[in-house]
Structure 1
Amino acid sequence: MDILLSRSLVEPDATHVTADQHTLLMLNSIDMTGDEAHALGAGRLNHGFASLGLRTMLSTQTLGAALEVLSRYFATCSSVFRMRIDYRGDVAEVSLRAEGRDEDRCEVLEEIWFNALYTFMCWFVGTRLPVMAATVARLDHPSVHRVHWAAKAPLTRGEISSLLLPRTCLQWRRQVDDVEEPVWEALRFWMDDDVGSAADVQTGLRSVFNRFEAPARATIDDAFNDRGVSDRQMSRRIKAQYGATFRDLRGDALVDVATRLLQLTDMPIDEIGAQLGYAEERSFRRFLRNRVGQTPAQIRRARVRAPRTSDQAVRSRIHALTRKMEL
């Protein structure tokens, strides 16, 4: 572990890692085992597996087509993973299952690639996907029954790892060109777009809410405008799926992004409110006070400045490791 942390430019006593350092930790884990399956006994994956998978996705034009070809790629080129896309009305479920001798280790492997798959999907369409709900197979996942750290969606435990998306997302078109280093480009997009990154937090905000000019006023009809069911039916489905109303979920997302902007940037409070869709600063203040019991100024004063290793040094190492994974 000491060697892994050292190679990832993380101090041994660190209580926080940046998005870049987290990515470097993952890549160093792969490199140190010499196996993209993290030597978890579920069958070997060579270093080119991820790169070739991304290249198969780039042979298509829509997200739905990319996932279908990726599913066939997994079935043909891997004894480890099985991927499926199932449809239930206006909802698409993208699921991933790792198969091998040790079920516990397979669940760990499943979680690793579950996050990678979501990263690759977002890179393909050039924005964060509006995930409705997520499941993971690991019983001890730290976010179970809360919110998935990457997809920002309600998370529960299930038999397999899966994402629930509005079916219309599968019609979204490819936004990236053929590139020489797809693994590096996908990871770089993810790090640059991360709403937790102080360097590019406004870009992350626009990506999360790219479909809404005023996310604070977004409605069910805005989010599911091709669903073929009434708002009342959709409200019941949302409530049954993860025990919350659309308004509550929207409020949670607004609080999360507002908190990040307040604590990671020096943007004026009125500008943050305007970004989120509040016409008046007092409306934004009232929303936060009612939702979390704090004013924007109180949230900002509570921010913690985490010490940061040189981003350039971390990214240089990430780039060097991804080159081993490219075909």
Structure 2
Amino acid sequence: MSVLPEQRVLTTLHTVALAVQALGHGGVAAELVLDGSGISASELDNPARLISHAQELRVLANACAYNRDSALGLSLGKRMHVSAYGILGYTMLASRTLGEALRLAIAHPALLGTYFQLNLLATDDEVRLTAAGYRYASQMEVFNTELCLASLLTVVQDLLGESVRPRRLLLAYRSPAHGASYGEKLGCPVEFGAGSNALCFNPALLERPLPLADPVSHQHGLQQCLQLETQFHSRQDLCEQIRQQLNGDLAGCVSLEQVAGRLHRSARTLRRHLQQLNTSFQHLLDEVRYDKARQLLQQTDLPIYLIAEQLGYSEAASFRHAFQRWSGLAPSDFRR
């Protein structure tokens, strides 16, 4: 019941929609690609729908399972154009130079939807666009690194309006079985086991003016990016606000209406926002109760009925049934 990092971070549907579309061309039904993610095919055109990184990872894992292309990450990345990033993408297109556009993207990782910490590093006679800090499913790390770097190269090419190639591609891991696909698809030398993941360019490329630069549109887009990011974090932080209320007073926060009142929102609005985040008040309540129950069972000698009271249950039997559902064990068995 504890929340993993990938369950906390929210993103848009653009990567999921791309994966569904790409596999659809190969005859794989959308329902198979979306299986187990909690995302329906009818939602893919909804720009307001936000999903967790965990949901996106499930879709990408499904895509890998149903696709025969071992270099799927590279293939999807090459198809992820700058327009996929909405207002952030269009603001990048209106930037003065390539360097300004890339720094804009790096400054707004939530809108970019990346699993990595991106950075621009100048070293000797080259500049490196690096991707570090991956912390999710290890079995998907190579795929997601391919997707990230290939999509960044596609964005660079879209921004400049030409098929510019990196000087070289650095990868922290050893060559996978499809290692030859990197050079073929990205058009540059590849160095595996390099200790970092980076696209390496001539530094002068960052000063290249963009063909669609427009200072007025850029400023307007930047304002919209800031507003969208504020809304994005506000919605993302909502679950944390509810968890904080529950952790502070579980016995007094057993209903959505009680928590809504403490957050100065209507229960209807709170319920709608939680639905958009693909969760529910009951799910958050169960999550906090389970974490608290484990702490009390392991770290105290409180009798079961007192633990039930602290968790907001009117009867110890209700707590026992709930704990059995969460853990597969009775509270007394868990404590042993």
Larger Rg: 2
Greater relative contact order structure (CA < 8 Å, 6+ sep): 1
**TM-score by shorter chain over 0.5:** no
TM-score (norm 2): 0.38
TM-score (norm 1): 0.39
